[in-house]
Amino acid sequence: MSWLAAHREVVLALVIALMVAAIGAYAPAFVEGTSLLGVLDDTALLFMLALGQMVVILTRGIDLSMAANLALTGMLVALVGQHGPDLPALAYIILAILIGLGFGLFNGVLIGGLGIPPIVVTLGTLSIFRGMIVVIGGGDQVNASEMGRTFQAFPHKALLGLSSVFWIALAVAILMQLFLSRTRTGRGIYAVGGNPTAARYCGLVLERYQVLVYAIAGGIAGLSGYLWVARYGVAYSEIASGFELTIIASCVIGGVSIGGGVGTVPGTLLGALFIGVIVNALPTMQVSPFWQMAISGAAILAAVIINARAEAHPDKLILPEARRAAAGARG
Amino acid sequence: MPDSPRYTVADRPPFRLADLLLRWESILVVLLALVFAVNAWATPWFLDIYNLADATYNFSEKAIIALAMALLILTREIDLSVAAIVALAALGVGAAGALGQPTPVLVLTGLGIGLLCGLCNGVLVTRFGVHSIVITIGTMSLYRGIAQVSLGDQALTAFPQPFLDLQQTYFLADPPTPLSFVLFLALAVVFGTVLHLTATGRRLFAIGANPVAARFSGIRVDRIRFLLFTVSGLMAGLAGVLLTARIGVVRPNIALGWELDVVTMVILGGVAISGGIGSIPGVVLAVLVLGFATFGLTLLNVPGIVINVLLGCLLIGSIALPILIRRAMRRRRST
């Protein structure tokens, strides 16, 4: 079992490969090149969002407002596309990141600055962001025909058979990996999540990192908001509704510990891919899409149980002496 | 010894009026009075006894779940699967109704499914030592998924009339009182008594304040957690029965998103998400504040999603304001 914990990503990758093979045996159309690339394309937004959520969970937080932030930013950018001049795609991207970042900062300041628990703040902003879409948009939806040409064209541009959404997600993943493993701040995120008290003695202030991680999550949610709206060609109040829990599920399946300080970029990406494969495979296998939720629920529980089995053993012993003795006996 | 200094060892801190007034419950009472005053001023239909009675329909089911959720959050746990349990229980009730079963069977089916789901949560949380937020996100998807798989895009609508009468006629005619509201109040008394007047209640506070210390003091932390998740499932099952009887139709998306409404009620009720602080009267007051504020805004034709914005602001504001006030007071004291 400890091998499982040490090689979590490998195990998860194997499980996904087995799953794809099994689905392919049943429905050969699923494993054709274009179809598999389609899965990557379709999961690209979840890749990015799960990475944003991971950074938050690393600091022992949670961001329930990501999907609402995505929807609100998407609506705002769509309104700019509708009423403003035809801007280049890059302008929309930067605008979306900045708007999302602003909403994320709002979360971060309430959490880091005022010390309100993350679940309370993001539960509140979840309602606020969702509602603001209706307040700002007047309850109307913005359709593809109204958004402007460059606004919509960009996410569909393809390179090597994959849309630009996937390449952006890949860039985000690489940047995130470099940030978390190669920079002082990135290592600090793991430190404050792993042990806030010890980190404080090293001069790392949890509250500052909280402002940072919610801003990162917000920026990613904003970017995804533009890409989502442009890809699916519609902005309204209910887009990505309930998606916040899919994002968290990706992290949990990918081995990110809700207790903070544990989680990797590859693991999270695989967790998201796992859900992406299920979502895309069910229609090709002609299974009712209603199964998707039940399967991802079972997958979350399985992942949690495997992780817990591998990790929880020492914690079962309450007395520190007994724990030391057990560690001594094992070592 | 004539002049020996006499120590007074007080059993409780001295009574101060300021403490009573600054209690969270007092703030909620003021808030509730404000909600009533503003609504009564804004619309002539608010203070109608039948309107008020009907308003309680809309929050009593959630409020019943909130009572159990309060105990969970008080002990540092959370159950995000409650809305999915409501859906699964409603599905069971609907299926039993489709089979032509009588009302008692329908009610017991709903309660039984709720209990089972709660037991399942309890086993998973205590057995694997993973935080309940993760476990219950998993079981939430699982339960809701089972409901979706078994029902698809169908709806169950066959119910015996006595079952529908449970929630579609008043339990008491004068004053008009729905069954769900009566149950909520009765359960609030039960939960309040257990939490505030029994040793078990004190144990819950001890676990919330420090689970490890509680375990060292001989409290069976895991057993109590297990019980709390079971109770939470049972309450969700009860809410499922009441909801089904009220609306008379079961779809897989029934009670979607309720978990967050319920958590909002509990947090606004002053239960600390970090555990160890909270009261049932606070939760009851928060339920009434949220319920009647929503009802008043609906009477004023404010769209539901805009009401959500206001409730979100209320949630964050009510937690942020005391923190800001405390900071300001501390700053004044230190200068």
The model's pLDDT over B280-305, given as tens digits with 9 standing for 90+, comes to 999 999 999 999 999 988 888 888 78
Whether A124 and B252 lie within 8 Å, measured CB to CB? no
Residue range A85-109: average pLDDT? Answer: 90
Whether A114 and B324 lie within 8 Å, measured CB to CB? yes
The model's pLDDT over A124-168, given as tens digits with 9 standing for 90+, comes to 898 899 889 888 877 777 877 777 777 777 766 677 777 888 999
Q: CA–CA separation, B48 vs A250, rounded Å? A: 49
Asked if residue B10 is part of any domain, the answer here is no
- The band of B235, judged by pLDDT with boundaries at 50, 70 and 90, is very high
- The band of B310, judged by pLDDT with boundaries at 50, 70 and 90, is confident
- pLDDT above 60 for A47: yes
In our burial notation (b when 16+ CB lie closer than 10 A, e otherwise), range A223-239 reads bbbbbbbbbebbbbbeb
- pLDDT above 60 for A331: no
Residue of A290, A295, A317 to mutate, testing the B interface (most B Cβ within 10 Å of its Cβ): A290
Q: CA-based angle A158:A227:A153, to the nearest 5?
A: 50
B128 → closest Cβ in A131, A259, A312: A312
Provide the 8-state DSSP code for A131: H
Range of the domain at A214: 33-311
Q: CA–CA separation, A178 vs A85, rounded Å? A: 36
Question: How far apart are the CA of A191 and the nearest CA of chain B, in angstroms?
Answer: 20
Given the structure tokens 């404080």, which residue do they identify? A200
* Total domains present in chain B: 1
Write out chain A residues lying below 8 Å of B264, CB-based: 123-124
pTM for this predicted structure: 0.84
Nearest CA in chain B to A57: B134
Which residues have C-beta within 8 Å of that of residue B112, sequence separation ≥ 6? B92, B237
Q: CA–CA separation, B307 vs B55, rounded Å? A: 15
Asked if residue A123 is part of any domain, the answer here is yes
- The band of A325, judged by pLDDT with boundaries at 50, 70 and 90, is low
Asked if residue A200 is part of any domain, the answer here is yes
What is the model's pLDDT at position A309? 64
A128 → closest Cβ in B143, B312, B324: B312
What is the model's pLDDT at position A327? 52
* Strand pairing category for A158-159 and A234-235: unpaired
The model's pLDDT over B171-228, given as tens digits with 9 standing for 90+, comes to 877 788 889 999 999 999 999 999 999 999 999 999 999 999 999 999 999 999 999 9
Most confident option among A226-235, B231-240, B298-307: B231-240
What is the model's pLDDT at position A205? 87
Residue range B50-74: average pLDDT? Answer: 92
CB A209 within 8 A of CB A186: no
Asked if residue A23 is part of any domain, the answer here is no
Asked if residue B1 is part of any domain, the answer here is no
Q: Which residues pair with A159 in a beta bridge?
A: A162
What is the model's pLDDT at position A3? 60
Asked if residue A238 is part of any domain, the answer here is yes
Nearest CA in chain A to B256: A242
Percent of chain B with pLDDT over 90: 47
CB pairs under 8 A between A and B: 154
Asked if residue A155 is part of any domain, the answer here is yes
Structure tokens at A322: 């007994």
Name which of A298, A42, A248 is nearest A126 in CA terms. Answer: A248
Asked if residue A5 is part of any domain, the answer here is no
- pLDDT above 60 for A2: no
CB contact B13 to A (< 8 Å): no
Residue of B141, B220, B294 to mutate, testing the A interface (most A Cβ within 10 Å of its Cβ): B141
Asked if residue B226 is part of any domain, the answer here is yes
What is the model's pLDDT at position B194? 95
Long-range contacts of the stretch B245-249 (C-beta < 8 A, 24+):
B245/B159, B245/B163, B245/B164, B245/B165, B245/B166, B245/B167, B245/B168, B246/B57, B246/B61, B246/B167, B246/B168, B246/B180, B248/B157, B248/B159, B248/B164, B248/B168, B249/B155, B249/B156, B249/B157
- The band of A311, judged by pLDDT with boundaries at 50, 70 and 90, is low
B149 → closest Cβ in A110, A127, A290: A290
Least confident of A204-218, A303-317, B210-224: A303-317
Asked if residue B138 is part of any domain, the answer here is yes
More confident residue, A321 or A213: A213
The C-alpha R_g of chain B, in whole angstroms, comes to 22
H-type helices in chain B, by residue range? 17-21, 24-42, 49-74, 82-98, 103-128, 132-151, 161-168, 179-197, 199-209, 211-216, 221-247, 258-268, 280-299, 304-334
The model's pLDDT over B243-260, given as tens digits with 9 standing for 90+, comes to 999 998 999 888 888 888
DSSP characters over A252-295:
HHTT--TTSS---HHHHHHHHHHHHHHHHHHHHTT--TTHHHHH
Nearest CA in chain A to B325: A114
Least confident of A156-160, B58-62, B126-130: A156-160
Q: Which residues pair with A235 in a beta bridge?
A: A142
For residue B142, count CB atoms less than 10 angstroms from its CB and return exposed for 0-12, middle for 13-18, buried for 19 or more: buried
Whether B146 and A318 lie within 8 Å, measured CB to CB? no
Nearest CA in chain A to B262: A123
Q: For residue B322, how many C-alpha atoms fall within 13 Å in the half-sphere facing its CB?
A: 13
Whether A123 and B320 lie within 8 Å, measured CB to CB? no
Query: Hey, which residues 69-88 in chain B have their CB within 8 Å of chain A?
Result: 78
What is the model's pLDDT at position B169? 78
What is the model's pLDDT at position B118? 96
Structure tokens at A9: 């990503």
What is the model's pLDDT at position A257? 84
Range of the domain at B262: 17-326
What is the model's pLDDT at position B2? 55
Asked if residue B34 is part of any domain, the answer here is yes
- pLDDT above 90 for A23: no
- The band of B5, judged by pLDDT with boundaries at 50, 70 and 90, is low
Provide the 8-state DSSP code for B8: P
- pLDDT above 50 for B277: yes
Q: Please confirm whether the linkage preceding A88 is cis (ω < 30° from 0).
A: no
Please state, rounded to an integer, the average pLDDT across all residues of chain A.
83
Asked if residue B307 is part of any domain, the answer here is yes
What is the model's pLDDT at position A102? 96
Please state, rounded to an integer, the average pLDDT across all residues of chain B.
88
Name which of A38, A37, A39, A45 is nearest A168 in CA terms. Answer: A45
What is the model's pLDDT at position A270? 93
- ipTM value for the complex: 0.77
* Strand pairing category for A162-163 and A234-235: unpaired
* CATH code, A285: 1.10.3470
A297 → closest Cβ in B145, B310, B320: B145
Query: Hey, which residues 315-334 in chain B have their CB within 8 Å of chain A?
Result: 315-316, 319-320, 323-324
CB contact B303 to A (< 8 Å): yes
CB contact B273 to A (< 8 Å): yes
What is the model's pLDDT at position A314? 44
Q: Kindly list the distances between the CA atom of residue A224 and the CA atoms of A114, A162, A220, A252, B325, in Å, as whole numbers in the listed order.
A: 28, 17, 6, 20, 37
Question: How far apart are the CA of A160 and the nearest CA of chain B, in angstroms?
Answer: 35
Amino acid symbol at A84: G
Residue range A233-244: average pLDDT? Answer: 81
Write out chain A residues lying below 8 Å of B221, CB-based: none
Name which of B317, B227, B225 is nearest B264 in CA terms. Answer: B317
More confident residue, A38 or A221: A221
- The band of A315, judged by pLDDT with boundaries at 50, 70 and 90, is very low
Using DSSP's 3-state secondary structure scheme, residue A163 falls into: strand
Residue range B8-28: average pLDDT? Answer: 77
Residue range A257-262: average pLDDT? Answer: 84
Q: Which residues pair with B187 in a beta bridge?
A: none
Asked if residue A129 is part of any domain, the answer here is yes
More confident residue, B165 or B112: B112
What is the model's pLDDT at position A317? 43
CB A59 within 8 A of CB A192: yes
The model's pLDDT over A263-276, given as tens digits with 9 standing for 90+, comes to 899 999 999 999 89
Which residues have C-beta within 8 Å of that of residue A41, sequence separation ≥ 6? A162, A163, A165, A166
* CATH code, B297: 1.10.3470
A291 → closest Cβ in B134, B149, B216: B149
What is the model's pLDDT at position A6? 63
CB A277 within 8 A of CB A19: yes
Asked if residue B115 is part of any domain, the answer here is yes
Beta strand ranges found along chain A (DSSP E)? 142-143, 158-159, 162-163, 234-235
- pLDDT above 60 for A328: no
Asked if residue B257 is part of any domain, the answer here is yes
A301 → closest Cβ in B131, B138, B252: B138
CB B128 within 8 A of CB B145: no
CB contact B299 to A (< 8 Å): no
Whether B128 and A64 lie within 8 Å, measured CB to CB? no
Least confident of A56-70, A143-157, A264-278, B23-37: A143-157
Whether A128 and B138 lie within 8 Å, measured CB to CB? no
More confident residue, A27 or B20: A27
* Total domains present in chain A: 1
Asked if residue A157 is part of any domain, the answer here is yes
